[in-house]
């Protein structure tokens, strides 16, 4: 029996020299990806590391736990007691000047975007665009630090098409109520990065059970968010700061929006025109503040000129 006060990662380090080859593979993975391993069943951990499920169970026993569930609970407790955000920042940037911090953070974000560019599957990206366009209803969910990403995507999708639902509730039962009628004609987009959201995962499971197309926007193919998804958009994130770096995920979402605009330019222009007319009719914005359609960079290409000429000199409102 392992002392409950003893960090499970310390137990792994202490017993590492006596481990078999298979156990060392598991130990290495858990040390590097403990935030993902905590969500995995013994079978999934085995599949991810190429080790048998029985070896995973024996690994937990070797460490001194009664079984895999007790080991998983110990891993969860260990993660909760890890260094807080301020301590992590202090360890990484404590001796840096302000300008060095700025350069370091921006450089790290650039690296994440570059890594995402190199590793994101273009076919999966194209399939996601097609799925979102063809779906009758699009449900979007992202909680905690992922909430701004979900809201950003919802804002632009809602301007391009109808029937876009942003799920945002503290209750899993209310989440199911909001997506009660989801079916095989619909699409669900789950956005989650470490620490992963169990509520988002449950909503993705529900959508998958209802035969909806499920898209995961997350940080790794071994992310628990990929368990119920049929399409995955992988973008790098970072936990080693007081705020999670979500620059690369936001860039991927931005690319989704642009790609959809270029797939459905006429529909998008019509929606934007209707929106601007509504703003004008209800005096939401002053006329000299914004000209949304004419200044929209996404739509500045030859199709606009074709539309202009087809109107025999008629100007947009």
pLDDT tens for 238-284 read 654 455 678 889 999 999 988 988 887 777 777 777 777 766 766 65
Residues 95-116 have a mean pLDDT of 73
Confidence grade of residue 289 (pLDDT, cut at 50, 70, 90): low
Residue of 313 and 173 predicted with greater confidence: 173
Residues 149-160 have a mean pLDDT of 89
- Residue 101 confidence (pLDDT): 63
- Residue 95 confidence (pLDDT): 52
Q: What is the pLDDT of residues 16-34, one digit of tens each?
A: 888 999 999 999 888 878 7
Top-confidence range, 2-16, 110-124, 301-315:
110-124
Top-confidence range, 194-198, 203-207, 271-275:
203-207
| In the predicted structure, residue 235 carries a pLDDT above the cut 80 | yes
What percentage of the chain exceeds 90 in pLDDT?
30
Prediction pTM value: 0.59
- Residue 233 confidence (pLDDT): 93
- Residue 83 confidence (pLDDT): 47
Residues 290-306 have a mean pLDDT of 46
Domains detected in the chain: 8-80 (1.10.10.10), 104-263 (3.40.50.10490), 265-310 (no CATH)
Residue of 69 and 39 predicted with greater confidence: 69
Residue of 194 and 22 predicted with greater confidence: 22
Q: Give the 3-state secondary structure of the chain.
A: CCCCCCCHHHHHHHHHHHCCHHHHHHHHHHHHHHHHHCCCCHHHHHHHHCCCHHHHHHHHHHCCCCCHHHHHHHHHHHHHCCCCHHHHHHHHHCCCCHHHHHHHHHHHHHHHHHHHHHHCCHHHHHHHHHHHHHCCCEEEEECHHHHHHHHHHHHHHHHHCCCEEEECCCCHHHHHHHCCCCCCCCEEEEECCCCCCHHHHHHHHHHHHCCCEEEEEECCCCCHHHCCCCEEEECCCECCCCCCECHHHHHHHHHHHHHHHHHCHHHHHHHHHHHHHHHHHCCCCCCCCCCCCCCCHHHCCHHHHHHHHHCCCCCCC
| In the predicted structure, residue 295 carries a pLDDT above the cut 60 | no
What percentage of the chain exceeds 70 in pLDDT?
75
């Amino acid at each position: 029996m392992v002392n409950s006060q003893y960090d499970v990662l310390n137990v792994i380090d202490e017993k590492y020299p006596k481990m078999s080859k298979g156990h060392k593979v598991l130990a290495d993975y858990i040390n590097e990806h403990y935030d993902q391993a905590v969500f995995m069943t013994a079978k999934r951990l085995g599949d991810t590391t190429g080790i048998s499920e029985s070896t995973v169970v024996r690994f937990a026993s070797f460490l001194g736990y009664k079984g895999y569930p007790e080991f998983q609970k110990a891993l969860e407790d260990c993660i909760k007691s890890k260094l807080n955000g301020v301590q992590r920042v202090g360890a990484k940037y404590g001796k840096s000047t302000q300008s060095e911090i700025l350069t370091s953070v921006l450089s790290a974000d650039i690296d994440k975007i570059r890594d995402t560019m190199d590793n994101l599957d273009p076919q999966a990206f194209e399939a996601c665009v097609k799925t979102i366009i063809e779906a009758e209803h699009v449900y979007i969910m992202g909680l905690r630090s992922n909430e701004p990403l979900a809201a950003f995507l919802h804002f632009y999708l809602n301007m391009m098409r109808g029937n876009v639902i942003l799920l945002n509730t503290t209750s899993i039962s209310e989440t199911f109520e909001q997506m009660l009628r989801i079916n095989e004609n619909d699409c669900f987009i789950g956005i989650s990065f470490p620490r992963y959201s169990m509520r988002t995962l449950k909503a993705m499971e529900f959508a998958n059970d209802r035969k909806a197309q499920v898209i995961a926007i997350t940080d790794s193919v071994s992310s628990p968010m990929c368990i119920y998804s049929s399409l995955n958009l992988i973008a790098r994130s970072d936990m080693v700061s007081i705020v999670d770096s979500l620059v690369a995920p936001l860039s991927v979402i931005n690319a989704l929006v642009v790609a959809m605009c270029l797939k459905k330019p006429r529909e998008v222009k019509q929606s934007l025109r209707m929106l601007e007319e509504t703003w004008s009719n209800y005096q939401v914005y002053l006329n000299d503040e914004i000209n949304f359609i004419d200044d929209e960079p996404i739509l500045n290409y030859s199709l606009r000129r074709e539309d202009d000429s087809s109107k025999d000199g008629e100007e947009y409102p």
